[in-house]
Amino acid sequence: MAGRVQGLLRGLTASRTEFEAVQERRRTQRSGCCPVDQAEDRHRVTVAGVLRSVTLRSRQTVPALEAELYDGTGALRLVWLGRREIPGIHPGRRLRVTGMVSEDGGTATMYNPRYELLADDG
């Protein structure tokens, strides 16, 4: 009983960020995808989450569209080389991506991932 009350109180006092992280983790679990914090270097995985940012950057004269995918457990940098924009890829959009994870400057990164735009399930 005490644990239930503590959980209720924690839920009432949780910050919006904590609440959103819990929601994203639940969506990831329901989707059957690998949590970002468990994606290992040099392994092919499928992860799902929400895009927190999308930025156009140049990488040695080649355009690159970079995005940060967040699933409540962590963030994964997505990089599409040779792309300036991709229809449907914008902050706040939910997607599922598949590809090889690599460590780039200490950040988990997936280059040219296969992606699927997801509906927001609220």
Span 8-15, mean pLDDT? 62
**pTM of the shown model:** 0.80
Residue 8 pLDDT > 60, yes or no? no
Parse the chain into domains and list their residue ranges: 2-118
Residue 56 pLDDT > 90, yes or no? yes
Is the model more confident about 58 or about 91?
91
Span 65-71, mean pLDDT? 96
Span 9-17, mean pLDDT? 66
The domain 2-118 is placed in CATH, from the list 2.40.50.140, 3.40.50.720, 1.10.10.10, 3.20.20.10, at 2.40.50.140
- SS3 (DSSP) at 20: helix
Span 41-50, mean pLDDT? 95
Tally of CA atoms within 13 A in the half-sphere of 13 that contains its CB: 6
Span 62-79, mean pLDDT? 95
Is the model more confident about 103 or about 21?
103
d(CA 112, CA 81): 6
Mean predicted lDDT score pLDDT of the chain? 87
Residues 6+ apart with CB under 8 A from 33: 45, 46, 47, 48, 71, 96
Q: How far is CA 83 from the centre of its chain?
A: 19
Span 90-107, mean pLDDT? 94
